[in-house]
Structure formats: structure tokens, C-alpha cells
Amino acid sequence: MTPTPNHAQALPQRAGATIINGPWPTYAQFRGLPERERWTLYELAKAGRQAMEDNGFEMAESYDAFVRRVCAELDL
């Protein structure tokens, strides 16, 4: 069964932007790595998000919320 979209809950978007609902991906599985590697993953997460935004995607999760979530998941 295909769910019927609720247009009253539609997210605002820039013209032509595709909104990515999140949080996506999760980094919690890397929490046990040494701190140096976790900081590297944090930088990769930020670069990945920036690359998607540069290609026209808009994240439903604000940048500040993204940073807080990734830092919490990586225990940074």
C-alpha cells in the first residue's frame, strides 16, 4: 500500500531542490573507534553533506542539528 502524502506537512524548499529527510546516515556504529578516527569521520560527514547541498539537495535537518547529532553519535 502506498502512503498518501500529507501536503499540509510538506517541507519548504528552494526551487528545484530535493529535500532529504533525515537524520541520514547514522554514525553511532563508529563510536568505539579511537578519537582521531572519529574526528576524521566527522570531517567526512560534513564534506558529504556539503557535496549533497552543492548538487542541489536540501536537508530537512538544519546544519546546527546535523553537527550536534553527528558529534553526539561519535561521542565527540
- How many of the other CB atoms lie within 10 Å of CB of 49? 20
User: Who has greater pLDDT, 61 or 68?
Assistant: 68
| pTM confidence score | 0.69
- Grid cell 542539528 is found at 65
- Cite the beta strand spans of 1-76 per DSSP E: 18-20, 57-59
| Distances 41 to 7, 12, 23, 29, 70 between C-alpha atoms, Å | 36, 30, 16, 11, 9
The string of pLDDT tens digits covering residues 15-42 is 556 666 665 788 999 999 999 999 999 9
What residue ranges do the domains of the chain occupy?
25-74
